Amino acid sequence: MNTTQSQFDAQQTQFQQQANTSKYNFEGVKQNPPPTGYAQLQSRRGPGPTRSGPTGADRPMTSIKAVVRNPQSQEQKQVKIDKVPDQSPESNFKQQEKEINQLLEASALAKIKGNLSEALEKAKDAVNKEKLLRRQKENMNQADSINIELSFTVAYNLANQLQANGIYQEALQKYSDIIKSKIYPQAYKLRVNMGNIYFQQEKYSAAIKMYKMVYDWLPPTSKEMRFQVLKNIGHAYVKEGKFDDAINTYETIMKGNPDFQTAFNLLLCLYDQGDKLRMKDCFSSMLGIEIPGYTENEEEEMNQESAFNDPLREEIKEKKRIAIDILVKSAKLIAPVIEEDIIDGYDWIIETLKESYFPEVQAEVEICKAMAYLKSKNMDKSIETLKSFERKDKIMMGRVATNISFLYFLENDFKNAEKYADVAINYDRFNPKALVNRGNCLLVKNEFLRSKEQYLEAIGVEADCIEALYNLAFVNKKLNMFNEALQALEKLQTIISTPEVVYQMASIHELMGQTKQALKWYQVLLTKVPTDPNILARVGNIFAREDDETQALHYYSESYKYLPTNIETIGWLGIYYVKQEYYERACHFFERASQIQPKEIKWRLMVASCYRRMGSYQKALKIYEEIYQDEPRNVECLKFLTQLCKEMGLPYEQYASELRKLEAEEYAVNYQIEPQGGYDPNNGGYDPYGTGQSGNQEIDITSQTRRGVVARPQQQVQQQIQNEDDWGADDLGDGLMPV
């Protein structure tokens, strides 16, 4: 037993020594008590056996005991070994080159984001650092290790950033310095950049010179770049107006590397020259240009809804879309000129397109043909052309039905217009134009609420549909929902600001009684259409209502200058000068009005009144007599003739007799009295009221009138003449008649 204990103690000592010399640290290890549940279980079972031996000493710890490490204490005892940085010149040079590359990247990114000034500053910093690095290498006799590519990139980036910032002279100097340096063998290509600068400066001859120098230096193997340079040369020739040289350049490109944009540029030059035959040849050659990667199988796959759209297929779609757009523009350009009639031109284009693989272009051209019929006011042919799509292309039917609906609407055939609007919506439920057409048909039927729903639905489909927004504002104006109308117009104002939109805003503010806001928007409108006489007259009318006659006179005078036939403007100006007692100028306007409306007696009466006020009684009398000859039953004319003849001492009994007779008839009509008067020889005149008294005597009427006692007839005539004589002091009424 003792031997066994001794061996055990020796073994334990050996283990302890190994533990002390091992790489593990057990100083922080502590023996933890058993869990609480175990302690409770032990208390129920009673005291168990202990690890103590017979002598009561604890049993020694064995290697089976769990090891628990304290990371914190371990980290504290770990020895940290710092790396010694490399201080060699090569390492320093590499670090500087890394910083220069970072500046180049930062400069390029700033340019992409539009921060041109920051990009230029980064480029300058990169140049300065590269110069410093190169100087250090030369001082240490390491010129052979100078990074030529880095030097070129830094210099080119600075020139490029100067060009982007519009500092052209410095940019040209930097490009020249790079090209003159013999250490950059490919630097001659930078003459293209120099040519671009000259092009932007409109120095097209210098630009062509630079482009040609690059073209001559380029090897035949660089076909793509050679054709790109030729395109620039052709553009410069066009800018100079040398269309023959431009045509030769573009034709060279079309023979070697044709593309749709170059073909369109060539077509524009031929259009300027008026060469019909070559225009046809150019358009035919455009149809033979291939789209890279596009085949008939590819077309079938793209038309399938389940087709997978990868980036390459999206790029092919975009190229085809651009080609279709250019072909449609080309067709619209040459159709009116290649034949004697525009319809014949479109027919030739349609026949040519039948042999191509662009059916979309053919459909577009047929729609253009229908629009050409519309412009020539041949509505039947236009509708017939569009209806042909019902038998040809169901996909285009929605768009075509929209156009047919619009055509019927122009013809005031609202029933068919609504019918085809419904057809278009059935083909495409989310067609905003068709919804607008349906709303318009409902609007003309005075179904304002239903019309409003259609416009709102169209806006829900296409938030920037200007037709829907404008018509929504208009229908809200009809419904007296002025605030909603203004909301629609304000949204439309952010999309497109046209005179119509501004006018509606001004008109609605005027209807709401917001005169200041209305004047504000009318003033904005006058900045867009400063010579519109109706707007000028409306602004003058607002100032007149605000009793600002100075401003009113200004705007009415401007309106008269641009439209001297507006009766409202002429009448206001005449009345204004009468109030100011400028009768000669007032007479000018009234004479102008009488020329415009020769059958309107009131203008001639106003002219005569002006002459009478100026003291030209003979002229006034002559005009009154002319009016009397044309209109012998005109009461106002007879009044003034009677009064003027009295003042001039001329016979007036005839005029007075006619006047009393007309007044009697008017009196009888107004008061529902049966005329009983007649000629009374005893009284020496006409008795208008059948009282046995002459017209110069007083008369009282009581039971025979509704108003009781009335004034004497002679007093009434004089009072009316006096009122007539003071018409210039009254405000201008709607009819401009003196009261």
Angle of the 260-273 helix axis to the 276-287 helix axis, nearest 10: 170
User: What pLDDT is recorded for position 496?
Assistant: 87
Sign of CA dihedral 196, 198, 204, 207: negative
The full 3-state SS of 116-152, as one line of letters, equals HHHHHHHHHHHHHHHHHHHHHHHHCCCHHHCCHHHHH
Q: State the DSSP string of 2-20.
A: HHHHHHHHHHHHHHHHHHH
pLDDT of 296 reads 62
> Is 575 domain-assigned?
yes
The letter for the amino acid at 202 is E
- Res 499: pLDDT: 92
Q: What is the residue-averaged pLDDT of the chain?
A: 78
Extract the tokens encoding 393.
């292309």
Query: Is 304 within a domain?
Result: no
pLDDT score at 653: 85
pLDDT at 393: 57
How far is 522 from 401, CA to CA, in rounded Å? 39
Confidence at residue 644, expressed as pLDDT on a 0 to 100 scale: 85
DSSP annotation of 34 reads P
For residue range 539-590, list pLDDT tens digits in order.
Answer: 999 999 999 999 999 999 999 999 999 999 999 999 999 999 999 999 999 9
Give the tens place of pLDDT for each residue, 258-274: 999 999 999 999 999 99
The neighbouring-strand residues paired with 679 are: 686
Q: Is residue 133 part of a domain?
A: no
The Cα–Cα gap between 309 and 107 comes to 35
pLDDT reading at 28 higher than 70? no
Judged by average pLDDT, the poorest of 295-309, 482-496, 725-739 is 725-739
pLDDT score recorded for residue 672: 61
Residue 670 CA: distances (Å) to CA of 225, 408, 622, 626:
96, 52, 32, 29
In the predicted structure, residue 43 carries a pLDDT above the cut 70: no
> What pLDDT score was predicted for residue 251?
92
Kind and range of the H or E element at 48?
Answer: none
**Cβ neighbours of residue 163 under 8 Å, at least 6 residues apart?**
171, 193, 196, 197
Tell me the mean pLDDT in the region 94-122.
Answer: 91
DSSP string, 232-300: HHHHHHHHHT-HHHHHHHHHHHHHHS--HHHHHHHHHHHHHHT-HHHHHHHHHHHHTPPPTT--HHHHH
Decide which of 335 and 696 is more confident.
335
pLDDT at 392: 59
Q: Write out the DSSP string of 562-587.
A: H-TT-HHHHHHHHHHHHHTT-HHHHH
Average of per-residue pLDDT across 506-520: 93
Cα–Cα distance, 555 to 549 (Å, whole number): 10
Given this model, what pLDDT does residue 292 score? 77
Query: For the domain that residue 569 is a member of, what is the CATH number?
Result: 1.25.40.10
CA 251 – CA 271 distance, rounded (Å): 15
Alpha-carbon gap, residue 142 to 493, rounded angstroms: 67
What is the predicted pLDDT for the residue at 304?
55
Mean pLDDT of 242-251: 93
Q: Establish if 340 belongs to a structural domain.
A: no
Question: Residues with Cβ < 8 Å from 531, sequence gap 6 or more?
Answer: 562
Judge whether residue 736 has pLDDT over 90.
no
Residue 654 in any domain: the answer is yes
Is the model's pLDDT at 507 over the cut of 90? yes
250 domain residue, yes or no: no
Mean pLDDT calculated for residue range 510-522: 93
Q: List 686's β-bridge partners, or say none.
A: 679
Is 671 domain-assigned?
yes
- Backbone phi, psi, residue 678, to 5°: -175, -175
CA distance 196 to 207: 7
Whether pLDDT at 299 is above 70: no
Q: What is the DSSP string of 322-369?
A: HHHHHHHHHHHHHHHHHSSSHHHHHHHHHHHHTTSS-HHHHHHHHHHH
DSSP state for residue 674 in the 8-state scheme: -
For residue 188, pLDDT over 80 is answered with yes
Q: What is the pLDDT of residue 408?
A: 84
Cα-based angle 267, 273, 278 (whole degrees, multiple of 5): 50
What tokens were used for 161?
Answer: 């950033």
Residue 356 contacts residue 331 (beta carbons within 8 Å): no
User: Quick one: which of 671, 703, 677, 672 has its CA closest to 689?
Assistant: 677
pLDDT at 555: 94
Residue range 520-543: average pLDDT?
A: 93
Residue 709 in tokens:
């006692």
What pLDDT is attached to residue 684? Answer: 37
Determine the Cα–Cα distance for residues 110 and 165; give it in Å rounded to an integer: 12
86-90, 159-163, 275-279: the lowest-pLDDT one: 86-90
In a domain, 722, yes or no: yes
Q: What is the pTM of this model?
A: 0.55
- The pLDDT confidence band at residue 59, using thresholds 50, 70 and 90, is very low
Where residue 682 falls among pLDDT bands split at 50, 70, 90? very low
Pull the structure tokens for residue 175.
């490009």
| Stronger pLDDT, 468 or 380, i.e. the higher one | 468
When mean pLDDT is compared over 142-156, 363-377, 493-507, the highest value belongs to 493-507
- pLDDT at residue 85, as a whole number: 58
Q: What is residue 9's predicted lDDT score, i.e. its pLDDT?
A: 57
Number of domain units in the chain: 1
Residue 403 has pLDDT above 60, yes or no: yes
pLDDT at res. 146: 81
More confidently predicted of 36 and 604: 604
Residue 703: both structure tokens together: 């039971």
Give the integer Cα–Cα distance in Å for 550 and 538.
15
Higher per-residue pLDDT: 379 or 315: 315
pLDDT for 471 equals 93
Average pLDDT over residues 116-135: 91
Predicted confidence (pLDDT) at residue 256 exceeds the cutoff of 60: yes
In this prediction, residue 50 carries a pLDDT of: 44
From first CA to last CA, the distance across the chain in angstroms is 149
* pLDDT recorded at residue 690: 39
* Spatial CA neighbour of 653 closest among 695, 706, 618: 695
Which of the pair, 129 or 295, is modelled with greater confidence? 129
DSSP structure class, residue 729: G
- Expressed as residue numbers, the domain containing 674 is 564-729
What pLDDT, in 10s, does the model give residues 191-239?
A: 999 999 999 999 999 999 999 999 998 888 888 899 999 999 999 999 9
In sequence order, what DSSP letters do the residues of 178-243 get, joined into one string?
HHH-TT-TTGGGGHHHHHHHHHHTT-HHHHHHHHHHHHHHS-TT-HHHHHHHHHHHHHHHHHHT-H
184, 178 in Cβ contact below 8 A?
Answer: yes
With a cut of 90, say whether residue 47 has pLDDT above it: no
CA 691, CA 695: separation in Å to the nearest integer? Answer: 10
Strand pairing category for 678-680 and 685-687? antiparallel
